[in-house]
């Protein structure tokens, strides 16, 4: 049995091997696909998930998003980390 994946600022999130993140032309939206599961993330979640490349830390993702959207990193950091932690808890992300 494995322990919980803890998402910290130094974590480098990536999609779990069985998970696909892609644009679905039929639905005209981004989807997260896993065996017998489908997520339809909202626009904000899509922007966060596009940064989960397996090479970028959560701290760098937050800094990038804060710069792109002129938002305080301290303010959006908790939301970004919370989203990624929730997806990790559900098995969609690894770190």
State the residue range of the domain holding 35.
14-94
Residue 1 in this model has a pLDDT that exceeds 60: no
Tokens (6 digits) for 62: 């937050």
In a domain, 56, yes or no: yes
Instruction: Kindly report the pTM of this predicted structure.
Output: 0.91
In a domain, 6, yes or no: no
Q: Count Cβ atoms below 10 Å from residue 57 Cβ, excluding itself.
A: 16
Nearest partner of 45 among 1, 76, 74, 12, judged by Cα: 76
Please count the CA atoms within 13 angstroms of the CA of 3 that sit on its side-chain side: 4
Tell me which DSSP letter residue 35 carries.
Answer: T
pLDDT digits (tens, 9 = 90+) for 29-47: 999 999 999 999 999 999 9
In total, how many domains does the chain have? 1
Tell me the CATH number at 70.
1.10.10.1150
In a domain, 4, yes or no: no
In a domain, 85, yes or no: yes
Length of the chain: 95
In a domain, 75, yes or no: yes
């Amino acid at each position: 049995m494995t322990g919980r994946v803890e998402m910290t600022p130094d974590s480098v999130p990536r999609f779990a091997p069985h998970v696909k993140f892609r644009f679905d032309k039929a639905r005209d939206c981004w989807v997260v696909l896993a065996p017998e599961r489908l997520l339809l993330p909202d626009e904000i979640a899509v922007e966060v998930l596009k940064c989960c490349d397996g090479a970028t830390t959560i701290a760098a993702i937050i800094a990038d998003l804060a710069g792109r959207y002129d938002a305080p990193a301290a303010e959006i950091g908790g939301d970004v980390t919370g989203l990624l932690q929730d997806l990790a808890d559900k098995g969609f992300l690894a770190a």
